[in-house]
Amino acid sequence: MGFKVLIVEALQASRDSLAGAVRCIEDVEVLATGSSFEALNLLARQRVDLVIASMEMPDMNGLELVNFVKKNPSYRETPLFVIAEEQSETERDRGLAMGAAEYLFRPLKAPQLEELLRRYLKVA
C-alpha cells in the first residue's frame, strides 16, 4: 500500500527540498503545489495520508489551511505539519490547538522530518 503526502509550499526550491526528504521513505508518492487554494482543490479530488504546509503562502497561510482541512470530515484525522520561518511559540501553540499534528521551524533537518513522517505514516 502506497502513501500520498501533499506538500504545500510557495517556493519551488523549498518544495523540491521537502519532496526530496519525503521521497527517502519507500512507497510514498509526493504531490506538491505552490498554492493553498490548489491544495484544497486537490484534497477535494484525491485522498492523501499526510499534508506538509508552509506557514508563508501567498493566498492563505498555513494556519488557515489547517482550519479548512480539519473542518472537512474526510481529513479530520489526517496529520498536517506546518512549517514556519519565524520561531514564534505563540503561533506554534495556536497551530497545534487548531489541529496541526506538528509545527516545525526552519531550517528543517532531514532526519527530523523523516522520523516524523515515519511515525505519522506508521512506516518502519
CATH number at 115 reads 3.40.50.2300
Q: What is the pLDDT along the chain (124 residues), one digit of tens a residue?
A: 599 999 999 999 999 999 999 998 989 999 999 999 999 999 999 999 999 999 988 888 888 898 989 898 989 899 999 999 888 889 899 999 999 999 999 998 889 999 999 999 998 7
Print the domain residue range for 14: 3-121
Whether the model clears a pTM of 0.85, i.e. scores above it, the answer is yes
Specify the DSSP class assigned to residue 96: H
- CA 82 – CA 39 distance, rounded (Å): 14
Domain count, the chain: 1
